[in-house]
Structure 1
Amino acid sequence: MISRFYLTCLIFLIFSCSFKDSEKVNPNTYTADVIIYGGTSAAIIAAVQVKKMGKSVFVVSPEKHLGGLSSGGLGYTDTGDKSVIGGLARDFYGRVYSHYQQDSAWKWQDREEYGNKGQGTPAIDGDARTMWIFEPHVAEQIFEDYVSEFKIEVFRDEWLDRDSGVSKENGEIVKIRTLSGKLFEGKVFIDATYEGDLMASSGVSYHIGRESNEVYGEKWNGVQVGVYQHRHYFKDSISAYNTPGDPSSGLVAEVSDAPPGNNGTGDTRLQAYNYRMCLSRHPENRMPFEKPPGYDPARYELLVRVYEAGWDETFDKFDPIPNLKTDTNNHGPFSTDYIGKNYTYPEASYEERKALLEEHTNYQKGLMYFLQNDQRVPTKVREKMAQWGLAKDEFTDNGNWPHQIYVREARRMIGDYVMTEHEVLGDREVPKPIGMGSYSLDSHNVQRFVTPGGYVQNEGDIGVHPKNPYSISYGTLIPKKSECKNLLVPVCVSSSHTAFGSIRMEPVFMILGQSAAAAAVLAINSASAVQDLDYTELKEVLSNEKQVLDLAGRLQ
């Protein structure tokens, strides 16, 4: 006979074992204080800040490579005013500096030969021990170093189930599910993607495209036909038709037949995307441009006509980075910007996005092959292009092609506070600052259309400089409380199209990622909604982290 005492013990042991087994039944559930979705620079910087404040964090990254555009080819940093770049963002650029102080970093070029050309600041700032220009693999290694040093667990190639993968209770996200079946439970969530997929799937309001100027009383939003603030437009009268002057011959390739719309009116069009290629002119480190699938030289007819009109700026944005490489950006009226072909990207399914990225890749690869090989390209251009190729030692698992397209704009949250051009241009005071920006209101071309006279023209490119660096409000990171109480969005921030054109710089995304993470931890500590956070406490934390919040706090 088993005594009642031993029977009770036996039952307890059985239930205990069953409970432990039940914990193991679903090994795909992961729980942390903060869940960060995205693998961008903002995501990794946010994770570092969470760790620094003593909380647990998981980074759930759709990408295999970390750092987004910062490691994806944009090495010629859009710094703006470097004096307002503080905190972990400045630490990142300090680590770049330390890397290039090593002789081993200069494999393909002597350090002295490189020079010191940067954008808005010298490339190498010895006094501040920062460097703003770098090779893609160097940036990626720094992000990997952060992950190792701070023991950050990253789940790579994990894609949010955008249809039903976000579970909410009482206005809060409790867990998210990825397509692989993994569940991530947390107290606060951060959407650090360029697309804003977690934000959108959480039922948070957002905008895609350009608002009309009437929405926020702006000047530079909406359609901007005839506004030419950079050099990315057709200065000469170039026919939009296959047979010049003959509408019956049809439109030349890469021109839309849709009317551009009235100036100042809103639309759902997006500024163009491209890949920031890393090119090399060292003979031992360059790969020739190959003919992409479906290559058709006819799609570059407009560029031939631009050359025939006397344009000669092909290499103006082959910006130098160390080791005889470039960060190559768009330039001119017809360039690597694939104008008008990204409008559906933000809301597209993963498969549809993949197809769009392939189209962008083939267009841009085809353009480079065309420049190097087509006899209609001026000889001096072809001869100089022959000196360039994709850098062999970059993006080595992707055919030396960048793993991240430049998503200049996708969704933008309509949150607790909306930044507009009024704040960026210094015409309105910013409440609860958590970081600063300084770049111009910058939008690339949005569309290429036919003028009433039958000529081709671009529209949407603007560049309006603020008088001073400006503060960014905490309210831009948080949704309306009625929509979600435990989500922060440091990339697809709450702003108008024009304001986002300035905010959307990689140093600023790092700044906002750090500030969002600090807010997440403080919200957990106080058991409050992110909208109810004590700003004075947040300000103190950010100040201690050397985040620059206003003009008075500028660094040297």
Structure 2
Amino acid sequence: MMSRNFILFLLIVVFFACTEGRKEKVSSTIYAADVIIYGGTSAAITAAVQVKKMGKSVMVVSPDQHLGGLSAGGLGYTDTGNKSVIGGLARDFYSRVYAHYQQDSAWKWQAREEYGNKGQGTPAIDGDARTMWIFEPHVAEQIFEDYVNEFQIQVYRNEWLDRNQGVVLDAGEIKSLRTLTGKIFEGQVFIDATYEGDLMAASGVSYHIGRESNEVYDETWNGVQAGVYQHGHYFKDSISAYQVPGDPSSGLLPELSNTPPGENGQGDSKLQAYNYRMCLSRHPENRVAFEMPENYNPARYELLARVYESGWDETFQKYDPIPNLKTDTNNHGPFSTDYIGKNYNYPEASYEERKAILKDHIDYQKGLMYFLANDPSVPDEVRNEMAQWGLAKDEFQDNGNWPHQIYVREARRMVGDYVMTEHEVLGNREVPNPIGMGSYSLDSHNVQRFVTPGGYVQNEGDIGVHPKQPYSISYGTLVPRKSECTNLLVPVCVSSSHTAFGSIRMEPVFMILGQSAAAAAALAINTDLPVQDIDYQELREILLNEKQILELEGKL
């Protein structure tokens, strides 16, 4: 029989063994690098590449399995604007696209000479500059994966920030972030490269959701814009809002709001609509027929049936061609793939709530495609054409050929000491400390669909105002107020008004801003300074050496 002392000894041994085991388990969940990037977007990957190029360690903490965000998620018909101001790693990305399509093996479903050369306001293929601006989703994703492999970037996928208690701050400095799996990431500088701005928000940084009133920044195109029709995405004919046309007592049609739109120029918390940029195919061997989704209800699309009845015939105008008989399919017209008014809660929603919002968007858009292909209220010529199309069988193969990334056109926007507005985008105000350029129009999709006083349907929020020339983007858009956080950079949910963001929010610009944010992060580490206090001239020299384009020729 064992003595009491021997039993006590064994208990002590077991206790320390177990304690030591717990220590090893806890410490194994802590990861450290000079720069921690949260997000898997195009901005995140270009930022990571730049950190490595500057000799710093970096970890990408991605809530997504697939890298590249919308660039790899269906938006292959690039919103370039003026492509001459796209430099640095962004231009390198499009050069790699060009190199891919120079290979005969890249043209599986279509002969190269049959493709043509149409891009969005620019040729798709620029042989002299060795760039290509139009591409298939899987090609973009592979390029981002190539960056990861070439630069030996550590990527942690399916790691979701604990938005409630996962950010540790000390005196305005982020020390670490924790994900829902329990992993802790420590760094000297952090970059929020998500479309939603979750790390920024969890760090206590000020932000805005929705449209500011025009009075806030003395703008013209912010706030409610009822009666402003700068694209074709509105109801040109008087279409009744009621289930029985002209009879209010019959109730509203689905997908309509009975809330008045508000006064023009008035701010609100509403967001421009989201959609999925579907990759469709018209090759018989590479298309998947549109299936009836769960909860399909053709009544949801009665409004579209009435649009067709009015004589509208622009169904296929945004089936923009990309290589191999595929499309980047975007919203077009008064009733299309944009799910207007159904995303307002998305930025602040919990992960579970966001999943429900995404599911609702998917059901709506899949139902729309099934309706177009099958419903007898759709004109015969449209249904006959739709029979030639389907989801591309060789894209998004692990997700039922459906894009893995919704088009988050706008979510949170940081409010820093410097806020970019339409004045800078339209060239009416000088931009201090430029770190990249944009050129696209002030572009917002519709924000709401409402009933006019006469009982008709109308959309609101769509704007498209072109700047006179490309414009610079300030370093101030990337950094929070120093009083709030000193080691965070935000290259996607930048400090800008709704109108300015409508131009900045293009994928090439996000790549540019991701690279510039990373250069600033490395410089802040080298000089042991808050990101707000780094020497701009040093940053400028780094960016110019990296072939970033900072301003129009003739400027400083």
How does the TM-score come out when normalised to structure 1? 0.96
Shift of 1:22: 5.0
For the residue of structure 2 that corresponds to 1:448, the secondary structure is strand
Aligned-pair RMSD on alpha carbons? 1.3
Shift of 1:437: 0.2
Shift of 1:121: 1.0
For the residue of structure 2 that corresponds to 1:436, the secondary structure is strand
Name the residue aligned to 1:511.
512
Name the residue aligned to 1:10.
none
Aligned residue runs from structure 1 range 275-290, under 5 A: 275-290=276-291
Name the residue aligned to 2:109.
108
Q: Which amino acid aligns with 1:208?
A: I
Name the residue aligned to 2:228.
227
Kindly provide the CA deviation profile for residues 99-136 of structure 1, in whole angstroms up to 9, marking residues without a partner as x: 00000000000000000000021000000000000000
Q: Which amino acid aligns with 1:441?
A: L
Kindly provide the CA deviation profile for residues 138-181 of structure 1, in whole angstroms up to 9, marking residues without a partner as x: 00000000000000000000000000000001110000000000
Shift of 1:416: 2.6
Aligned residue runs from structure 1 range 213-362, under 5 A: 213-362=214-363
Bigger shift: 527-536 or 19-28? Answer: 19-28
2:270 and 2:397 map into 1 onto residues whose CA distance is: 34
2:89 and 2:20 map into 1 onto residues whose CA distance is: 42
1:453 and 1:21 map into 2 onto residues whose CA distance is: 69
1:177 and 1:255 map into 2 onto residues whose CA distance is: 40
Name the residue aligned to 1:183.
184
For the residue of structure 1 that corresponds to 2:113, the secondary structure is helix
Shift of 1:26: 1.7
Tell me whether 1:36 sits opposite 2:70 in the alignment. Answer: no
Kindly provide the CA deviation profile for residues 61-89 of structure 1, in whole angstroms up to 9, marking residues without a partner as x: 00000000000000000000000000000
2:354 and 2:20 map into 1 onto residues whose CA distance is: 43
Aligned residue runs from structure 1 range 135-214, under 5 A: 135-214=136-215
Count of paired positions: 538
For the residue of structure 1 that corresponds to 2:501, the secondary structure is helix
Q: Which amino acid aligns with 1:195?
A: E
Name the residue aligned to 1:502.
503
Name the residue aligned to 1:9.
none
1:142 and 1:270 map into 2 onto residues whose CA distance is: 31
- Alpha-carbon distance change, 518 to 23 in structure 1, aligned in 2, over 3 angstroms: farther
Shift of 1:553: 7.9
For the residue of structure 2 that corresponds to 1:400, the secondary structure is coil
Name the residue aligned to 2:434.
433
Kindly provide the CA deviation profile for residues 409-451 of structure 1, in whole angstroms up to 9, marking residues without a partner as x: 0000001310000000000000000000000000000000000
Name the residue aligned to 1:444.
445
Name the residue aligned to 2:87.
86
For the residue of structure 2 that corresponds to 1:307, the secondary structure is helix
Shift of 1:338: 0.1
Tell me whether 1:58 sits opposite 2:56 in the alignment. Answer: no
1:221 and 1:144 map into 2 onto residues whose CA distance is: 38
1:239 and 1:20 map into 2 onto residues whose CA distance is: 69
Tell me whether 1:130 sits opposite 2:131 in the alignment. Answer: yes
Q: Which amino acid aligns with 1:405?
A: I
2:70 and 2:53 map into 1 onto residues whose CA distance is: 24
Q: Which amino acid aligns with 1:459?
A: E
Runs of 4+ in 1 over 6 A off after TM superposition: 18-21
Kindly provide the CA deviation profile for residues 351-387 of structure 1, in whole angstroms up to 9, marking residues without a partner as x: 0000000000000000000000001100000000000
1:61 and 1:25 map into 2 onto residues whose CA distance is: 21
Kindly provide the CA deviation profile for residues 203-247 of structure 1, in whole angstroms up to 9, marking residues without a partner as x: 000000000000000000000000000000000000000000000
- Alpha-carbon distance change, 380 to 182 in structure 1, aligned in 2, over 3 angstroms: same
Name the residue aligned to 1:390.
391
2:345 and 2:67 map into 1 onto residues whose CA distance is: 25
Q: Which amino acid aligns with 1:190?
A: I
For the residue of structure 1 that corresponds to 2:538, the secondary structure is helix
Q: Which amino acid aligns with 1:97?
A: Y
Identity, in percent, stands at: 82
Which ranges of structure 1 fall in alignment gaps of 5 or more residues? Answer: 1-14
Kindly provide the CA deviation profile for residues 459-499 of structure 1, in whole angstroms up to 9, marking residues without a partner as x: 00000000000000000000000000000000000000000
Name the residue aligned to 1:98.
99
Aligned residue runs from structure 1 range 471-550, under 5 A: 471-550=472-551
1:24 and 1:288 map into 2 onto residues whose CA distance is: 49
For the residue of structure 2 that corresponds to 1:552, the secondary structure is coil
How does the TM-score come out when normalised to structure 2? 0.96
For the residue of structure 2 that corresponds to 1:509, the secondary structure is helix
For the residue of structure 1 that corresponds to 2:357, the secondary structure is helix
Q: Which amino acid aligns with 1:488?
A: L
Q: Which amino acid aligns with 1:472?
A: I
1:267 and 1:407 map into 2 onto residues whose CA distance is: 18
Q: Which amino acid aligns with 1:454?
A: G
Name the residue aligned to 1:373.
374
Name the residue aligned to 1:47.
48
Q: Which amino acid aligns with 1:433?
A: P
2:357 and 2:20 map into 1 onto residues whose CA distance is: 47
Shift of 1:39: 0.1
Shift of 1:20: 12
1:468 and 1:21 map into 2 onto residues whose CA distance is: 60
2:129 and 2:21 map into 1 onto residues whose CA distance is: 54
For the residue of structure 1 that corresponds to 2:276, the secondary structure is coil
- Alpha-carbon distance change, 304 to 553 in structure 1, aligned in 2, over 3 angstroms: farther
2:26 and 2:266 map into 1 onto residues whose CA distance is: 55
Q: Which amino acid aligns with 2:545?
A: N
Name the residue aligned to 1:399.
400
1:164 and 1:265 map into 2 onto residues whose CA distance is: 35
Q: Which amino acid aligns with 1:471?
A: S
1:22 and 1:520 map into 2 onto residues whose CA distance is: 32
Tell me whether 1:417 sits opposite 2:418 in the alignment. Answer: yes
Q: Which amino acid aligns with 1:369?
A: Y
